[in-house]
A and B are shown apart, each in its own frame.
Chain A
Amino acid sequence: MRPGEESARTRGLLGWAAWALVLVALAALGWRWHQERGQVWEPPGLGPPLVLLRGPPADSSRGTRLVAVNPDCRSCRQSLARTVARAAGADRVGALIVDTPSRPGSAVLAGLRGSSVWWDAEGVWRRRWGHRIYGEVLCFDSKGRYVRTLPPR
């Protein structure tokens, strides 16, 4: 085999290997996506296993909006502040502290606006409800039943 032919053959092999890798990665992503689509998630609920850390548990005259907040995330604290400002008394607005395994301390609670603060102690927001975006707004009616989720404000 001449050097030019060998070089072309090597290039071709490398090319096929690279595209095969891309295809395998795409297939793996597709497989994971397909698995996840088959997953059945629970609808969010207001109450246990969530732990109420501050404020009244419910208000039969108004709905409740909970902003999913990770205390280390500045933008979701800002989302909470904006949601509080926009609600203007229509709904009670509070925080749902997520992805925080240990009980939040008073310093964390002091930094959160809103009338109530719930703590997702068991990680149900991510593991059982299937939610993942900080700052989103979970809406519940006056009886505490889940209505819908709004994207971060």
Chain B
Amino acid sequence: MVAARLAASALEALTYRLWWWTRGARLPYPGFLLGLVALSLVDRFALSLTALAERTPAFAPWLAWLTGPRVLEGGWHAVEPGLASVFGSLGLLTLARVTMTAWLQATALGLRLAGPLVLTGTVWLATRVALWWALDLSRGMSPIG
């Protein structure tokens, strides 16, 4: 699990580094990767809050702002399963994670936040849409838990 997370962070860092390389800017890989690994703690925290909401459903409506609607019973689960699974984690913590990732790039490259923020948001959205489609294709009519 830790190895998979590290590999995902390494791939994510490489994607941004390549993007900025093609734009003529040099994003320092080790420092940026370290930043991404540290930011993955935000994901870990979101998972812990999700587990807390499952154990204590009374907290779920409040925690949903942070963790995304996946912790809510009822209405959210009526949404298409693939869509719910992939976008169910869209909460304030995810937005913070995306913003911090953009901020790391902006700081390292001496840029304003807007450009890296658009890039990071687009990458996040594109990967989620790709995951949604891939999940739907792999499950067919089978339900997911």
A residues near B, CB below 8 A? 8, 11-12, 14-16, 18, 22, 26, 29-30, 32-33, 36-37, 41, 126, 129-133, 136, 149-152
Query: Could you say which residues of chain A place their CB within 8 Å of the CB of B144?
Result: 133, 151
Interface SS majority for chain B: helix
Q: Is the CB of A14 within 8 A of B22?
A: yes
Contact with A along B127-145 (1 / 0, CB 8 A): 0011001101111111111
Taking each of B129, B130, B143, which has the highest tally of chain A beta carbons within 10 Å of its own beta carbon? B143
- Please give, as numbers and ranges, the residues of chain B lying within 8 Å of A18 by CB-CB distance: 18, 22
Q: Flag if A33 contacts B142 (CB, 8 Å).
A: no
Chain A residue nearest to B24 in the complex (CB): A8
Distance between B125 CB and nearest chain A CB, rounded to angstroms: 11
**Which B positions have Cβ atoms within 8 angstroms of A?**
18-19, 21-24, 126, 129-130, 133-134, 136-145
- Tell me the smallest distance from the CB of A101 to a CB of chain B, in Å: 19
Give CA–CA (A142, B130) in the complex, Å: 41
Contact A29 B22 (CB under 8 A): no
Task: Evaluate whether A41 and B141 lie within 8 angstroms (CB atoms) in the complex, with A11-B22, A26-B129, A29-B130 already known.
Answer: yes
8 Å CB contact of A33 from B19, B22, B136: B136
27 pairs of residues in contact across A and B, judged by CB atoms under 8 Å: A11-B23, A12-B23, A12-B24, A15-B19, A15-B23, A18-B22, A26-B129, A29-B130, A29-B134, A32-B137, A33-B133, A36-B136, A36-B137, A41-B141, A130-B140, A130-B141, A131-B142, A132-B138, A132-B141, A133-B139, A133-B142, A133-B143, A150-B143, A151-B143, A151-B144, A151-B145, A152-B145
